[in-house]
Amino acid sequence: MINKERKKQPGEIEIHIEDVEIIMGDDFIHLDRLLNNVYCSHCKNSYNGTIENYKIYLNKLDDIIFVGQCTECKERVARYIETGETISKAEIARHVRTIKKEFKTIKKKK
Ligand SMILES: [Zn+2]
């Protein structure tokens, strides 16, 4: 059985598409292509799948993970976008993480 609710991994934070745009910079224009080249283990579609209804996470390696469902079969699929390898992108990713953490702290104080 496939567990549809993916548990957040340690060190992961949820981010939004605006954060992805900041982290990816110029590569953001390729995002559509990346999200339309998703492998679904159910459809066995050789990376022709599309991901929809996704949530976005930043993992502790500063890679971006889109977790959503396959448009064809609605099973859960995930797409990793590595940013940890590029120094500038990784720095931005860390910056976004810091901002998110501060934001959380501010919310808690209220
Ligand atoms: Zn599928």
Phi, psi angles (nearest 5°) of residue 46: 40, 60
* Residues lying with their CB under 5 A of ligand 1, a single-atom ion: 40, 42-43, 70, 72-73
Q: Is residue 94 a contact partner of residue 62, using CB atoms and an 8 Å limit? A: yes
Cα–ligand 1 centroid distance for 109 (angstroms): 43
> What's the Cα-to-Cα distance from 90 to each of 48, 56, 61, 97, rounded to whole Å?
28, 16, 8, 10
Cα–ligand 1 centroid distance for 20 (angstroms): 24
Whether residue 31 is predicted with pLDDT greater than 60 in this model: the reply is yes
pLDDT interval class at 9 (50, 70, 90): confident
Model-level pTM? 0.78
Cα–ligand 1 centroid distance for 2 (angstroms): 13
Q: Please tell me the predicted confidence (pLDDT) of residue 76.
A: 94
Residue type, 104: K
